């Protein structure tokens, strides 16, 4: 059999359902094998960068390995941003790139590029395989690395002649399953002793708690400790839980900021956050000042990066929290489940503003809608104002989201969780980068509603520059474009609204329940400074 077929058969054995990317000469031998493998659907995108963000969202919400493919040369380099993102988000993705024939390496062949050293800094493992007999073995090794320990991306470069080469049939190696990282029992006991002896503490939760929300809430209720979250963890803790004190970091809430800056605590428990810049309001020292810091994570690299950790607890967060809860129960602690507080929804006025438009939109959409949020000034409004109505309802990529990433994320999230209504909130600047992926969604009948906040400028750049330098270049704006009209030329249902009255139930439902994508364009220039929290103070004082 051809070595490419062995790889495809191996991926099939692991129940891989989709491969995201773009065919080209250097990977066509691989794509050719998909003719005989109907179990795997190639999602042929319009750009490899978008494919990588689709794969990321698919890995996140399916909790399975995602596969992404690009050609040699530029197709491969277009995947590097997505690989770096997957590394930051700990997402298991197998990146496959083609390569020129082994015999032409170093001869300036068309689109020749030695890709594997480029991928090395942004993956757990990267290798070019020059021998067909080793290809399946290396792919298996890479997948094992992607799924083991701290999950993450891996990369295999396959020269086209290696893909085509015939090899002796060999048994497929068993597809790997991730083995949980178990915390050390003595470390758990030390953590419990510290928690039990603490006079007063709080919990800081990051997106790493996605699979450990029940355990984290139980611990908070046992200790009666307040919870603050990072921006990326928005949507994981219900708004109506009385111990939730809001978001700290970019676009965060005053209540959370006051708790950290003015609260009288002697212990802080960090769960699932790497304590990066956007989560900590530019590394605010008050998060841990005069406190004992307990940090729980499955990635030991996050310990002691910026904040000295008194007690690092290495292990899967759900397992570690469950063990801590059990030990506390053995000490006689009881969980007190408080009554959920009445949701205090913000008043929506008739003023056509970003905040009002987003809140009205959420009011009209199903409560279980999942929102994938792109990069732009609207992101601050989403973080600060939109409501958490259902579990795991926001995908916000503050760490390494590229402009346009929310478009691919919406498609990948919908494929992973097809029963859940999915809405991508993006902007005109993002749309001009990755908006043609609407055609990908159309061609595969993927029903995602794309909400385009169109202010005819790079809004985040405009506001950030204005805060730093008290002026913004006129070229940060752009000629207004009717994006809904553009969508209609592609045969995609669309509506353009330019006043609050246009945001009404019948129109939104008509767009949401299509057999494919739809566009809701909100044409709005909002000159208010976005609610970026303490980031506004930082930018305003920049350079002073």
**CATH number for the domain that contains residue 197:** 3.40.50.1220
Whether residue 221 lies inside any domain: the answer is yes
Q: What is the mean pLDDT of residues 514-528?
A: 90
Residues 374 and 521 in one domain: yes
Q: Which residues constitute the domain of residue 206?
A: 185-330
Residues 233 and 321 in one domain: yes
Residue 154's nearest CA partner among 91, 93, 85 is 93
Residues 491 and 366 in one domain: yes
Whether residue 114 lies inside any domain: the answer is yes
pLDDT at 475: 63
Rounded Cα gap, residues 262 and 420, in angstroms:
40
The residue out of 164, 197, 232 marking a domain boundary is 164
**CATH number for the domain that contains residue 376:** 3.40.50.970
Rounded Cα gap, residues 299 and 450, in angstroms:
34
> Which residues lie below 8 Å from residue 18, measured CB to CB, with a gap of 6+?
40, 41, 42, 43, 58, 66, 67, 415
Residue 105's nearest CA partner among 96, 116, 94 is 116
Out of 14-18, 524-528, 534-538, the most confident range is 14-18
- Look at residue 199 and give its three-state secondary structure: coil
Q: What is the mean pLDDT of residues 404-424?
A: 97
Q: 481 is written with which tokens?
A: 């474009």
Q: Per-residue pLDDT tens for 422-481?
A: 999 999 999 999 999 999 999 999 999 999 999 865 546 545 656 676 776 666 667 888
* Count of domains for the chain: 3
Rounded Cα gap, residues 239 and 4, in angstroms:
49
Residues 68 and 207 in one domain: no
The residue out of 118, 134, 164 marking a domain boundary is 164
Rounded Cα gap, residues 302 and 305, in angstroms:
6
Q: What distances in angstroms separate CA 111 from CA 74, 101, 102, 198, 346, one per listed residue?
A: 7, 11, 13, 61, 54
Residues 160 and 272 in one domain: no
pLDDT averaged over the chain?
92
pLDDT at 47: 97
pLDDT at 451: 98
Residues 267 and 211 in one domain: yes
Residues 436 and 491 in one domain: yes
Q: Per-residue pLDDT tens for 288-341?
A: 999 999 999 999 999 999 999 999 999 999 999 999 999 999 999 999 877 777
């Amino acid at each position: 059999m051809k070595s490419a077929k062995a790889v495809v058969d191996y991926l099939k054995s692991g129940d891989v359902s989709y491969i995201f990317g773009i065919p080209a000469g250097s990977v066509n031998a691989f794509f050719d094998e998909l003719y005989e493998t109907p179990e795997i659907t190639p999602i042929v995108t319009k750009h490899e960068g978008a494919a990588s963000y689709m794969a990321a969202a698919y890995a996140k919400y399916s909790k399975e390995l995602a596969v992404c493919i690009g050609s040699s040369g530029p197709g491969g380099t277009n995947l590097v941003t997505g690989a770096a993102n997957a590394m930051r988000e700990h997402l298991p993705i197998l990146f496959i790139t083609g390569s020129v024939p082994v015999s032409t390496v170093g001869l300036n062949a068309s689109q020749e590029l030695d890709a594997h050293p480029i991928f090395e800094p942004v993956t757990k493992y990267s290798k070019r395989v020059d021998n067909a007999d080793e290809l399946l073995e290396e792919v298996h090794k890479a997948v094992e690395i992607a799924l083991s320990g701290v999950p993450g991306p891996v990369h295999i470069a396959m020269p086209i002649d290696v893909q085509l080469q015939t090899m002796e049939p060999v048994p497929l190696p068993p597809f790997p399953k991730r083995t949980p990282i178990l915390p050390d029992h003595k470390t758990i006991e030390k953590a419990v002793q510290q928690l039990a002896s603490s006079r007063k503490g709080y919990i800081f939760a990051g997106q790493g708690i996605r699979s450990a929300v029940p355990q984290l809430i139980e611990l908070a209720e046992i200790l009666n400790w307040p919870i603050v979250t990072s921006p990326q963890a928005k949507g994981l803790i219900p708004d109506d839980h009385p111990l939730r004190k809001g978001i700290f970091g970019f676009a965060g809430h005053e209540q959370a900021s006051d708790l950290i800056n003015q609260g009288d605590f002697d212990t802080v428990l960090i769960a699932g956050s790497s304590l990066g810049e956007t989560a900590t309001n530019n590394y605010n020292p008050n998060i841990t000042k005069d406190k004992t810091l307990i940090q729980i994570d499955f990635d030991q690299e996050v310990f002691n990066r910026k904040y000295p950790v008194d007690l690092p607890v290495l292990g899967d967060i759900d397992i570690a929290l469950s063990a801590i809860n059990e030990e506390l129960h053995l000490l006689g602690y009881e969980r007190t489940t408080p009554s959920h507080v009445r949701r205090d929804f913000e008043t929506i006025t008739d003023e056509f503003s970003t905040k009002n438009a987003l809140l009205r939109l959420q009011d009209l959409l199903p409560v279980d809608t999942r929102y994938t949020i792109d990069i732009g000034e609207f992101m601050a409004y989403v973080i600060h104002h939109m409501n958490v109505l259902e579990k795991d309802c926001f995908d916000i990529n503050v760490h390494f989201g590229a402009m346009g990433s929310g478009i691919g994320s919406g498609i990948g999230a919908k494929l992973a969780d097809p029963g859940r209504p999915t809405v991508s909130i993006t902007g005109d600047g993002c749309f001009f980068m990755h908006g043609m992926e609407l055609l990908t969604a159309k061609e595969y009948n993927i029903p995602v509603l794309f909400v385009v906040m169109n202010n005819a400028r790079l809004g985040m750049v405009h506001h950030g520059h204005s805060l730093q330098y008290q002026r913004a270049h006129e070229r940060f704006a752009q000629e207004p474009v009717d994006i809904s009209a553009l969508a209609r030329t592609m045969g995609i249902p669309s509506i353009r609204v330019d006043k609050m009255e246009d945001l009404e139930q019948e129109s939104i439902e008509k767009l949401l329940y299509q057999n494919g994508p739809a566009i809701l364009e909100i044409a709005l220039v909002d000159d208010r400074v976005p609610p970026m929290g303490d980031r506004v103070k930082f930018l305003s004082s920049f350079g002073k």
